[in-house]
Amino acid sequence: MAIEPLELQDLTEAKIDGNGAFDVLMRAMVGHIGLEFDRGRIRGADYANVYLNAMAPVLQNAVVFLLQKDEAANKAALVEAQIALTEAQTQLVLKEIERELLNKELIQAQVDKIRRDIITSDLTDGLVGAQTDKVRREIQTATLTDAMLTAQTVNVEQELLNLKAQECVLKSQYDLNMMQKLNVTAQTTLVQQKVATEKAQISGAGVEPDSVIGKQKTLYTAQTDGFKRDAEQKAAKLMTDTWNVRRTTDAGTVADSVNGLADTNIGRAITTMLAGIGA
């Protein structure tokens, strides 16, 4: 069956709801990106970057799909047609061989009849010899024809072997095309993994704690807490220093619950600090 030639509309109908290969793949890609955007995994300019970076591979894969989808089918159909033609030619040669064999049998019957005529008739040796020579020539001609048909049969069988070899080559090419398709799929998976890695740079959703980014996140959190504690300690020291200055100039300055410098408060602070450092 003849394959229709590729048209531009097979690639795209130049509209969002088109049925071209590029139209369908773009709808699927936009749907996935939109889902990630709605879930908050893609924000701001990242949406445009992901969209633009994905458009070129989608167009390339659509073109490759259209160019390769009918190639193997066309080649297989050609081989099948050639095999059918060769088989028909083989049948024709076999019929020719059968006809020649029938002619040979007819000649042999004629020879047998001549022999019977020699026995039953009183023909002259010259006439019998002439007829015998004629029959022998006909037998030789039939033998030559039989040899030619045998040679033609060998040629036809060789052509069948050649066509089968071509079929094997075409099947190998088809397997290679399928391997290339699997390679494209693996590359797509790698790109998706890279997208997930880039998302992890701006969003903690889906980040495993044991991953590199997860451990960096834990480190940043610990550093942030350390900065807060350091600021608290510096502020406490500043306030305590002011109390010390007042204490040295005013004997009435005391450590009580108002300024938080009572021994019970200091004890709780020391206990908390020691627990924090694991002492």
pLDDT at 238 over 70: yes
If you average pLDDT over every residue of the chain, what do you get? 82
Lowest mean pLDDT segment, chosen from 96-105, 108-117, 167-176, 237-246: 237-246
Reduced to 3 states (helix: H, G, I; strand: E, B; else coil), residue 251 is coil
Please enumerate in sequence order all residues whose Cβ is within 8 A of that of 114, keeping only pairs 6 or more positions apart, or say none: 128, 131, 132, 135
Under the banding of pLDDT at 50, 70 and 90, the label for residue 204 is: low
Lowest mean pLDDT segment, chosen from 58-72, 91-105, 204-218: 204-218
Tens digits of per-residue pLDDT, 19-62? Answer: 888 899 989 988 998 888 888 888 777 888 888 888 889 889 88
- Tokens 């019970």, residue located: 264
The pair of three-digit structure tokens given for residue 81, joined into one six-digit string = 């047609």
Please enumerate in sequence order all residues whose Cβ is within 8 A of that of 9, keeping only pairs 6 or more positions apart, or say none: 18, 20
Phi/psi region, residue 15 (left: phi>0; alpha: psi -120 to 50; beta: rest), is beta
Lowest mean pLDDT segment, chosen from 21-35, 122-136, 142-156, 215-229: 122-136
pLDDT at 105 over 80: yes
Per-residue model confidence (pLDDT) at position 111: 81
Per-residue model confidence (pLDDT) at position 162: 92
The pair of three-digit structure tokens given for residue 200, joined into one six-digit string = 């992890």
CA distance linking residue 66 with residue 63, whole number of Å: 5
Mean pLDDT computed over 130-148: 84
Mean pLDDT computed over 161-172: 90
Tens digits of per-residue pLDDT, 244-272? Answer: 887 788 877 787 777 777 777 777 888 88
More confident residue, 186 or 207: 186
Question: In terms of C-beta distances under 8 Å and separation of at least 24 residues, what long-range contacts does 267-272 make, across chains too?
Answer: none
Pick from 68, 67, 59: nearest CA to 24: 59
Phi, then psi, of 127 in degrees rounded to 5? -65, -45
Mean pLDDT computed over 182-207: 74
Torsion angle of C-alpha atoms 243, 244, 247, 253, degrees rounded to 10? 30
* 8 A C-beta contact, residue 207 and residue 196: no
Per-residue model confidence (pLDDT) at position 122: 64
* Domain 71-176, CATH class in plain words: mainly alpha
CA distance linking residue 161 with residue 157, whole number of Å: 6
Mean pLDDT computed over 178-194: 83
Per-residue model confidence (pLDDT) at position 206: 64
Lowest mean pLDDT segment, chosen from 118-127, 144-153, 215-224: 118-127
Per-residue model confidence (pLDDT) at position 117: 82
Under the banding of pLDDT at 50, 70 and 90, the label for residue 71 is: confident
CA distance linking residue 228 with residue 222, whole number of Å: 10
Mean pLDDT computed over 167-191: 87
pLDDT at 97 over 80: yes
Residue 35's identity, in one-letter code, is L
pLDDT at 1 over 60: no
Under the banding of pLDDT at 50, 70 and 90, the label for residue 196 is: low
